[in-house]
C-alpha cells in the first residue's frame, strides 16, 4: 500500500465521516458506498463492496435521524475494506467486518462527544445567538464542523491501524504450506525444534494429504459444497 493510497483512504474516511451529519449528506457515508470506493482505491472494489454490503445490513438496524445514538459505519466500511483488500475473501470477510464493527461503535462514542462539545459551545455563545449575530452563528457552525472533522479523522486513523494489524496477521490463516508459529520469546532451541517439525511435515507431505482428504469428502457428498460458496471456493483452490 503506497503513501498516496494511504492519504487517499484517510481523506475518504474523513469525508464519509463528515457526510453522516455535518457536510453534504449525499449518502457517501452509507457503508456500501464507502467500502466500495475504498476498495477501488486499493484496486479491489469487489472486496470493498462485499464488506460494505455486510456492514450495510448492520446499519439498516438504526437510522441516523434526530438524536439517535448511531454507529458511524462510513469510516468503519473504509477500515473493513482496507483489511479485506487483496486477501482471500473466505478468510478476510469475518476479520474485516469485525474491524468495521469496532470502528463503527468507536465512531458512535465519538459522535456523542461531539454533540456534548457542541452543546457547551452553544451555551457559551448564547448571547450572540439570541441576538442573531451572524459572526456568532457562523462561529458555532464552523467549530461544530471542525470538531466533527477531527472526530472523523480520529475514527479513520483508528480503523486504519486496526486494519493494518489484521492485514499483518491475516496471511497466517491462508498459507498454502507448512507454517509453524513460535512464541515471540522463543529461544534458539525452540526455533530449532520448529524448523525440525516443519521439515518433517514437508517431507511427510502432510498438506497434500489434508487436501486429498478434503477433496475425497467433497466428492462423496458428505459436504454439500455446491450450497456453500465458501467451501466451494476452498475446494476449487485445491484443484
- Give long-range contacts, CB 8 A cutoff, 24+ apart: 146-150: 147/114, 147/117, 147/118, 148/17, 148/18, 148/21, 148/22, 148/23, 148/114, 149/14, 149/17, 149/18, 149/22
> Does residue 77 have a pLDDT over 60?
yes
pLDDT at 219: 66
What's the whole-number average pLDDT of the chain? 81
pLDDT at 225: 46
pLDDT at 111: 87
pLDDT in tens, 207-239: 777 777 767 766 665 555 445 455 555 555 545
Residue 86 CB partners (closer than 8 Å, separation 6+): 42, 43, 44, 47
For residues 143 and 182, which has the higher predicted lDDT (pLDDT)? 143
For residues 92 and 8, which has the higher predicted lDDT (pLDDT)? 8
CA–CA distance, 199 with 195 (Å, rounded to integer): 6
CA–CA distance, 201 with 140 (Å, rounded to integer): 66
Residues 151, 143, 66, 35, CA torsion sign: negative
Report, as an integer, the average pLDDT of 28-35: 90
pLDDT at 170: 61
Report, as an integer, the average pLDDT of 77-95: 79
Report, as an integer, the average pLDDT of 34-41: 92
> Does residue 116 have a pLDDT over 80?
yes
Count of residues making up the chain = 239
Q: At 55, is the pLDDT very low, low, confident or very high (cuts 50, 70, 90)?
A: very high
Report, as an integer, the average pLDDT of 19-23: 82
The region of weakest confidence among 26-30, 50-54, 124-128, 215-219 is 215-219
| Residue 111 near residue 72, CB atoms below 8 Å | yes
pLDDT at 33: 92
Residue of 106, 144, 152, 110 whose CA lies nearest to 13: 152
The region of weakest confidence among 20-24, 51-55, 162-166 is 20-24
CB-side exposure of 104: number of CA atoms within 13 Å?
27
> Does residue 5 have a pLDDT over 80?
yes
Q: At 196, is the pLDDT very low, low, confident or very high (cuts 50, 70, 90)?
A: confident
pLDDT at 190: 85
Amino acid at each position: 500500500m503506497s503513501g498516496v493510497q494511504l492519504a487517499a483512504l484517510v481523506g475518504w474516511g474523513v469525508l464519509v465521516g463528515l457526510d453522516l451529519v455535518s457536510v453534504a449528506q449525499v449518502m457517501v457515508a452509507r457503508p456500501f458506498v464507502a467500502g466500495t470506493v475504498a476498495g477501488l482505491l486499493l484496486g479491489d472494489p469487489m472486496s470493498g463492496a462485499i464488506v460494505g454490503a455486510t456492514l450495510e445490513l448492520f446499519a439498516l438496524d438504526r437510522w441516523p435521524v434526530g438524536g439517535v445514538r448511531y454507529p458511524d459505519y462510513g469510516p468503519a466500511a473504509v477500515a473493513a475494506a482496507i483489511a479485506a483488500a487483496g486477501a482471500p475473501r473466505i478468510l478476510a470477510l469475518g476479520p474485516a467486518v469485525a474491524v468495521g464493527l469496532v470502528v463503527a461503535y468507536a465512531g458512535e462514542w465519538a459522535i456523542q462527544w461531539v454533540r456534548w462539545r457542541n452543546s457547551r459551545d452553544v451555551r457559551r455563545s448564547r448571547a450572540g445567538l439570541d441576538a442573531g449575530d451572524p459572526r456568532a452563528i457562523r462561529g458555532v457552525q464552523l467549530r461544530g464542523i471542525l470538531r466533527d472533522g477531527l472526530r472523523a479523522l480520529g475514527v479513520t486513523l483508528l480503523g486504519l491501524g486496526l486494519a493494518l494489524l489484521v492485514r499483518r496477521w491475516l496471511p497466517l490463516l491462508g498459507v498454502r504450506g507448512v507454517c509453524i508459529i513460535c512464541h515471540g520469546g522463543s529461544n534458539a532451541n525452540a526455533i530449532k525444534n520448529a524448523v525440525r517439525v516443519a521439515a518433517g511435515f514437508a517431507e511427510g507431505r502432510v498438506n497434500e494429504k489434508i487436501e486429498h482428504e478434503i477433496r475425497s469428502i467433497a466428492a462423496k457428498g458428505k459436504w454439500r459444497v455446491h450450497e456453500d460458496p465458501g467451501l466451494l471456493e476452498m475446494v476449487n483452490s485445491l484443484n
